[in-house]
């Protein structure tokens, strides 16, 4: 059997399937007979003891590997052993004759609600700890084993519906040979993680969970995007050979990391790094990059237990600026909203978050957040070569408002005698088609632009990039996307304003020749894509790139374009 999906992180591996299905509790309120009370209390005590044993074991394992995680486990045990909740659960069983699982559910849910409503940030965070402990108890009650990807017994190919940040943050990188998911595409969280960990991955195989069996041996070909089951010895041998070849190829590509991205006819294409976590691994790419083309600041808001203060932001921005020395760093102001929701902002729920209050729109309605970020950025500007960029801009008045806001913060810093670089360039992301179409009118009012192709494509194609049902309509290589990119490059280029591409397309080895041919000479991408991108650029000359771009702009369908780009890459 062959299952086909989208290869998002190259490689070929052979291994056993692990079906990853985290436990989902669905307790129903049931009651017990009075004569069974003692037995029910004992069953509750046993469940609690099992949960405690799990936490003890986890903590012991985490103490050496990950002290931060051990501290979380400690807090979970504290909750599990809480005498007040324990008493309440016992009362519900003994007096109200509730079954233990219902009693656990009711007690925990009450406190989750109480803490969740608190005005205090840290207490709301505790509600999520309570939720974890509740799930653990209910799972122990159901007699199911814990499934997590942080410490696996043996090497496996993980097959899941989808992986969440909580699954991947502690991923056992040694034992996860490959990843297969039912949902998700090249721009999903799982794809980004798989590439950064260099784990072969194929995403978007519907029914993978039902078609594959736990423990069976499969081949994961994340070059063609296939999962192959039931291979004979001969086929396996062939795939083993392919695995070696692909590995060697990837290793060779890696040697391009430190080379200069220059075309065969001598044109330097600026290859920049996308920064999304600002950790040491990511920033180690700074020396191979011509700067940071996209410094995503969302992680500051999404991680941690509180909104980042101005000082915390300043420290992070300073760290990133210093890592890049005098190379440019484009800081993108917070792009919350859309698929990146933040509960603690308590924003009204929207039916269409991708078309709602996100990016700069959010910054403008929450000026206290925007103020802290801009002040932190401007203060950090003395430590490097900073540029500020706003996401989700649709019209000129938004740009003017944002620039006025930045100027206001700068004036306030001046008044306080705090130094900052008064020449910080200010630009925008091009994601909304309306602003791309008025490029000539916008060019005068921005210092630079960068195209976010993931969102531009989703808005151009009117296809939600998180909705697997419309995946066929979300076309990375839609001729309209390339025409739009051509228009953007030409118009801003004519006005002398730098244009870069920082979306997924910027690091896509098939698309790079077209982008270069369209006149885009700045590409920004994740560290994992950089070596391969440089390799493509070093094999390219400008004439053939321009010819290819012209050709592609006049092709009729995505299928046709993809075939042409694949043929070009294999030339």
Q: Report the alpha-carbon distance of residue 341 to residue 355 in Å, rounded.
A: 13
Complex with another protein: residue 85 or 424, whichever CB lies closer: 85
Residues 197 and 224: beta-carbon distance below 8 Å: no
Complex with another protein: residue 122 or 248, whichever CB lies closer: 122
Min dist. Cβ of residue 305 to another protein (A): 9
Q: Closest Cα partner for 158 from 144, 169, 168?
A: 168
Decide: residue 286, CB within 10 A, 0-12 exposed, 13-18 middle, 19+ buried: buried
Q: Report the alpha-carbon distance of residue 421 to residue 462 in Å, rounded.
A: 40
Complex with another protein: residue 126 or 534, whichever CB lies closer: 126
Alpha carbon 30 to chain centroid, angstroms: 41
Min dist. Cβ of residue 80 to another protein (A): 10
Min dist. Cβ of residue 122 to another protein (A): 5
Give the residues across from 499 on adjacent strands.
449
For CA atoms 552, 556, 562, 568, the dihedral sign is: negative
Q: What is the DSSP letter of 279?
A: -
Alpha carbon 352 to chain centroid, angstroms: 20
E strands, 82-170, are 156-160
Q: Report the alpha-carbon distance of residue 47 to residue 234 in Å, rounded.
A: 49
State yes or no: is 189 an active-site residue: yes
Query: Active site residue: 76, 140, 189, 292, which one?
Result: 189
Task: Return the residue matching tokens 């925990």.
Answer: 108
Min dist. Cβ of residue 110 to another protein (A): 10
State yes or no: is 461 an active-site residue: no
Q: Closest Cα partner for 538 from 321, 302, 271?
A: 271
Min dist. Cβ of residue 434 to another protein (A): 46
Complex with another protein: residue 135 or 259, whichever CB lies closer: 135
Q: What is the DSSP letter of 268?
A: B
Complex with another protein: residue 104 or 160, whichever CB lies closer: 104
Q: Report the alpha-carbon distance of residue 180 to residue 5 in Å, rounded.
A: 9
Residues 428 and 499: beta-carbon distance below 8 Å: no
Q: Rule CB under 8 A: which residues touch another protein?
A: 75, 78-79, 82-85, 111, 114-115, 118, 120, 122-123, 126, 130
Residues 344 and 121: beta-carbon distance below 8 Å: yes
Min dist. Cβ of residue 111 to another protein (A): 5
Min dist. Cβ of residue 56 to another protein (A): 16
Query: CB-hemisphere CA count at 13 Å for 366?
Result: 21
Q: Report the alpha-carbon distance of residue 488 to residue 444 in Å, rounded.
A: 14
Complex with another protein: residue 127 or 228, whichever CB lies closer: 127
Q: Which residues contact 441 (CB under 8 A, 6 or more apart)?
A: 396
Complex with another protein: residue 120 or 224, whichever CB lies closer: 120
State the catalytic residues: 189, 502
């Amino acid at each position: 059997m062959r299952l086909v999906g989208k290869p998002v992180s190259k490689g070929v591996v052979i291994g056993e399937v692990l079906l990853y299905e985290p436990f989902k509790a669905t307790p129903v309120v049931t009651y017990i007979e009075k004569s069974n009370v003692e037995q029910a209390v004992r069953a509750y005590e046993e469940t609690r003891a099992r949960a405690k044993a799990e936490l003890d074991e986890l903590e012991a394992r985490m103490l050496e590997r990950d002290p931060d995680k051990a501290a979380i486990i400690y807090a979970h045990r504290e909750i599990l052993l809480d005498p007040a909740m324990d008493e309440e659960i016992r009362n519900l069983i003994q007096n109200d004759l509730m079954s233990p699982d219902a009693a656990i559910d009711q007690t925990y849910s009450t406190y989750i609600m109480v803490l969740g409503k608190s005005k205090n940030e840290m207490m709301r965070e505790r509600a999520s700890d309570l939720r974890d402990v509740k799930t653990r108890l209910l799972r122990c009650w159901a007699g199911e084993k814990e499934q997590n990807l942080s410490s696996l017994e043996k090497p496996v190919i993980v097959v899941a519906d989808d992986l969440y940040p909580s699954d991947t943050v502690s991923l056992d990188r040694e034992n996860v040979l490959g990843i297969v998911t039912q949902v998700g595409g090249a721009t999903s969280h799982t794809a980004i993680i798989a590439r950064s960990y260099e784990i072969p991955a194929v995403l978007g195989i519907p029914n993978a969970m039902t078609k594959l069996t736990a423990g069976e041996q499969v081949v994961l070909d994340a070059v063609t995007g296939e999962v192959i089951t039931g291979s004979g010895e001969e086929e396996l041998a062939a795939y083993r050979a392919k695995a070696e070849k692909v590995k060697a190829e990837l290793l060779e590509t890696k040697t391009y990391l430190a080379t200069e991205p220059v075309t065969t006819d001598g044109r330097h294409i600026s290859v920049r790094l996308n920064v999304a976590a600002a950790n040491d691994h990511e920033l180690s790419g700074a020396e191979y990059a011509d700067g940071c083309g996209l410094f995503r600041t969302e992680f500051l808001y999404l991680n941690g237990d509180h909104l980042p203060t101005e000082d915390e932001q300043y420290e992070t921005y300073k760290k990133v600026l210093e890592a890049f020395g005098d190379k440019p760093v484009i800081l993108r102001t917070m792009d919350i909203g859309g698929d990146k929701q933040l509960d603690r902002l308590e924003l009204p729920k929207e039916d269409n978050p991708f078309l709602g209050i996100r990016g700069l729109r959010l910054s403008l309605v929450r000026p206290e957040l925007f103020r802290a970020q801009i002040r932190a950025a401007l203060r950090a500007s003395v430590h490097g070569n900073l540029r500020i960029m706003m996401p989700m801009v649709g019209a000129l008045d938004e740009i003017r408002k944002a620039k006025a806001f930045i100027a206001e913060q700068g004036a306030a810093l001046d008044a306080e005698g705090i130094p900052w670089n008064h020449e910080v360039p200010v630009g925008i992301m091009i994601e909304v088609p309306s602003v791309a179409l008025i490029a000539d009118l916008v060019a005068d009012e921005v210092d630079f632009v960068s195209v976010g192709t993931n969102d531009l494509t989703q808005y151009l194609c009117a296809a939600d990039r998180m909705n697997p049902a419309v995946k066929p309509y979300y076309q990375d290589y839609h001729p309209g996307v390339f025409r739009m990119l051509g228009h953007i490059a030409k118009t801003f280029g004519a006005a002398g304003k730098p244009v870069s591409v920082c979306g997924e397309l910027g690091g896509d080895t098939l698309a790079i020749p077209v982008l270069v041919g369209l006149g885009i000479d700045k590409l920004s991408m994740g560290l994992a894509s950089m070596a391969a991108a440089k390799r493509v650029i070093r094999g390219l000359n400008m004439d053939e790139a321009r010819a290819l771009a012209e050709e592609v702009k006049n092709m009729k369908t995505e299928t046709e374009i993809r075939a042409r780009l694949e043929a070009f890459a294999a030339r």
